[in-house]
C-alpha cells in the first residue's frame, strides 16, 4: 500500500448504519402506539383497544432495545475490525450493510406488533427475535464479505 493510503482518515460515518437501524426500531413503536390509538378512535369498524399507558410508551423502547442488541454488537464489531484492518474498509462496509439489512427485514413485524397490541404474541415474537436476529446478522455478514471477496480480490 502507498503512504497516501495510510494517511487517509477512516470513514466512521459509513459504519453508523446499524446504530440508525437500532434507534429507529427501538423508538418507532413508542411513536406509533399513540398514532394507532388516535386513528382507531376515528375508524368505526376497528375494535377499541385500551389507550397506551405512559409506562408502556417508555417501556416499549427499553424492551425492544434489549431485543435489538445485535445491531449494537454489529456496530462495535465493525468498528473494531475497521481499526484493526483499515485496508478492508470496502469489504467491512459492504458486510455491515448486508448484515444490517438481513437483521432489519423481519423487524417491522415486531415493531408493529408491539405498537399495535403489545400482548402475549409480542412477547413470543420478541423471544424468537432474540434467537433469530444474531443468526441473520452473521449470515448477512458472511454474504457481504463473500460478495466483497468476489468484487475486490
- The tens digit of pLDDT for each residue in 102-128 reads 888 887 777 666 655 656 667 777 788
Averaging pLDDT over each range in 28-32, 46-50, 75-79, which range is the top one?
75-79
- What cell was used for 115? 405498537
Q: Is the pLDDT reported for residue 100 higher than 60? A: yes
CA distance 143 to 83: 21
79-94 pLDDT, tens digit per residue, is 888 889 888 888 888 8
Question: pTM above the 0.75 mark?
Answer: no
Tracing cell 427499553 back to the chain, one arrives at 62
Closest to 49 measured CA to CA, from 32, 61, 36, 65: 36
Confidence band, pLDDT 50/70/90 cuts, at residue 47: low
Instruction: Report in angstroms the alpha-carbon separations of 56 from 31, 141, 146.
Output: 11, 34, 42
The pLDDT, as a whole number, for residue 138 is 92
Range of lowest pLDDT (72-76, 118-122, 130-134, 143-147): 118-122
Confidence band, pLDDT 50/70/90 cuts, at residue 1: very low
Please state the domain extents for the chain: 3-151
Range of lowest pLDDT (19-23, 40-44, 66-70, 76-80): 40-44
Amino acid at each position: 500500500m502507498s503512504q497516501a493510503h495510510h494517511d487517509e482518515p477512516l470513514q466512521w460515518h459509513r459504519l453508523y448504519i446499524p446504530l440508525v437501524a437500532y434507534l429507529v426500531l427501538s423508538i418507532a413503536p413508542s411513536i406509533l402506539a399513540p398514532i394507532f390509538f388516535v386513528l382507531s378512535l376515528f375508524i368505526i369498524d376497528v375494535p377499541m383497544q385500551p389507550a397506551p399507558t405512559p409506562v408502556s410508551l417508555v417501556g416499549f423502547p427499553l424492551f425492544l432495545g434489549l431485543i435489538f442488541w445485535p445491531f449494537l454488537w454489529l456496530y462495535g464489531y465493525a468498528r473494531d475490525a475497521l481499526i484493526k484492518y483499515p485496508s478492508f474498509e470496502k469489504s467491512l462496509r459492504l458486510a455491515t450493510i448486508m448484515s444490517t439489512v438481513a437483521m432489519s427485514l423481519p423487524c417491522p413485524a415486531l415493531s408493529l406488533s408491539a405498537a399495535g397490541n403489545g400482548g402475549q404474541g409480542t412477547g413470543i415474537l420478541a423471544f424468537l427475535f432474540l434467537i433469530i436476529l444474531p443468526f441473520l446478522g452473521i449470515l448477512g455478514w458472511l454474504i457481504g464479505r463473500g460478495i466483497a471477496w468476489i468484487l475486490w480480490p
